[in-house]
Amino acid sequence: MKAREMAKVAVIPGDGVGKEVTREAVKALRAVTEGTGFELDLVEWPHGADRYLETGEAITDAEFADLQSNYQAILLGALGDSRVPGNEHARQILLGMRFRLDLYVNFRPVRLFHERLTPLRDKRAEDVNFVIFRENTEGVYVGMGGTFKQGTPDEVAIQEDVNTRKGVERIIRAAFEYARRNGLTRVTMSDKANAMEFAGGLWRRVFKLVSAEYGDIESEALYVDMLAMDMVRRPERYQVIVTGNLFGDILSDLGAQLAGGLGLSPSGNIHPGRIGLFEPVHGSAPDIAGKNLANPFAAILTAGLMMEHLGRPAEAAKLEDAVRACILAGEATTDLGGTLGTQAAGDAIVRRLSVADAP
Ligand code: NAD
Ligand code: IPM
Ligand code: MN
């Protein structure tokens, strides 16, 4: 008898549009797994601004331990709320999960589904197709630093940029391994070594050492300002980009817009072999929250990355195919030029998944 296949997933809708898009992603996940024999145990977690404001607690040590020992994945919507102006709950939950679960790869694919969705002139769908490997556990995000003479004209703020040999090497290696697995021929490392010599020096030395092990793959190191420009000028050059935490954050929003906007951009926070955290690249979008305007496709594509991580590539492909089909048919939210609301866009995906499943 075939072993029962299952996965336990913590679903954290979070704040703002995170709640709206996650509802649609869950609908899509239920539709795509129905009748497959794969049991997805989706457990909703109430973490976010509401709970933080009520209880003063963002996420506890016991909850981290629970995630680590009992779950295979986390599906997150977004965190961010104007009632928490310092964003501390988001840092504790989102950055907390990235750091404490040591999810060192932030994988952010940039894929253009249709040429009418890119703001770039004369670019075809195949011209915008690359992935960003963003280092996810170090850099300026570690929260080391402080302020001195705060509130006075002499105030000093220090935010340290932490780069370790281990951290830099493992993200660079992950990028090369991905390239090799997927038959890709070039890996681009990006830093700011001309101005930030210590961090850049480490990144460049390690990149050279690791790339020597992958003689079949071309490697190049580009300054991040030049890369930002060139992603717009000739995105077709890029296949795999590997970079630090902050540069990766910025480049991934730029990449998202090249491929139709944040409403279409998924991400996975991964440490191979461990629990993974999956979230759209976008935030809680307070400007459109609660209006049924948010595009749920980024969250649905994110659910696809999660299914891939859970060892279900067929379901991942079905989710992506459904999104592509909806886009081509114009069944989309207003950010993509469609007329559908968030829920109707999710319904359109579910309809396509159900048709695909029909005998
Ligand atoms: P944002 O990504 O929330 O929004 C940027 C712009 O993109 C807005 O105009 C918004 O309307 C639009 N947008 C975002 N998602 C969309 C969707 N699904 N469909 C259509 N349009 C969409 O970025 P922001 O405004 O800088 O941040 C808002 C809050 O979210 C902040 O608190 C920020 O810290 C937080 N944030 C959280 C995450 C996360 O949880 N992973 C990511 C980014 C930002
Ligand atoms: C992202 C977000 C986060 C980040 C914020 C909310 C801390 O912008 O996931 O891209 O900078 O990593
Ligand atoms: Mn970001």
How far does residue 252's CA lie from ligand 3's centre (Å)?
7
- Annotated catalytic residue 347: no
Among 39, 21, 59, 100, CA closest to 285: 21
330: left (phi over 0), alpha (psi -120 to 50) or beta: left
- Annotated catalytic residue 123: no
pLDDT score recorded for residue 198: 98
pLDDT score recorded for residue 228: 98
Q: What DSSP state is assigned to residue 91?
A: I
Identify which ligand lies nearest to the alpha carbon of 257: 1
Of 81, 84, 89, 94, the one to substitute when testing ligand 2's pocket (max ligand atoms within 8 A of C-beta) is 94
Fold that domain 108-260 belongs to in CATH: Isopropylmalate Dehydrogenase (3.40.718)
- Annotated catalytic residue 61: no
How far does residue 272's CA lie from ligand 1's centre (Å)?
27
Instruction: List every span in the chain annotated with CATH 3.40.718.10.
Output: 1-104+271-359, 108-260
CA distances from 116 to 19, 83, 229, 328, 340 (A): 28, 37, 21, 10, 18
- Tell me the CATH number of domain 1-104+271-359, given options 3.40.718.10, 3.30.1450.10, 3.40.50.1000, 3.40.50.2300: 3.40.718.10
Q: What DSSP state is assigned to residue 162?
A: B
Among 11, 159, 173, CA closest to 105: 173
How far does residue 151's CA lie from ligand 3's centre (Å)?
28
Strand blocks (E) in 136-263: 145-148, 156-159, 186-191, 218-223, 240-243
pLDDT score recorded for residue 45: 98
Ranges of residues in the chain with a pLDDT under 70 are: 1-4, 356-359
Task: Give the separation between CA 134 and CA 105, rounded to whole angstroms.
Answer: 6
- Which atom of ligand 2 is closest in space to residue 80's alpha carbon? 6
pLDDT score recorded for residue 3: 44
**Phi, psi angle pair for 241, to nearest 5°:** -110, 130
Place of tokens 């989102």: 94
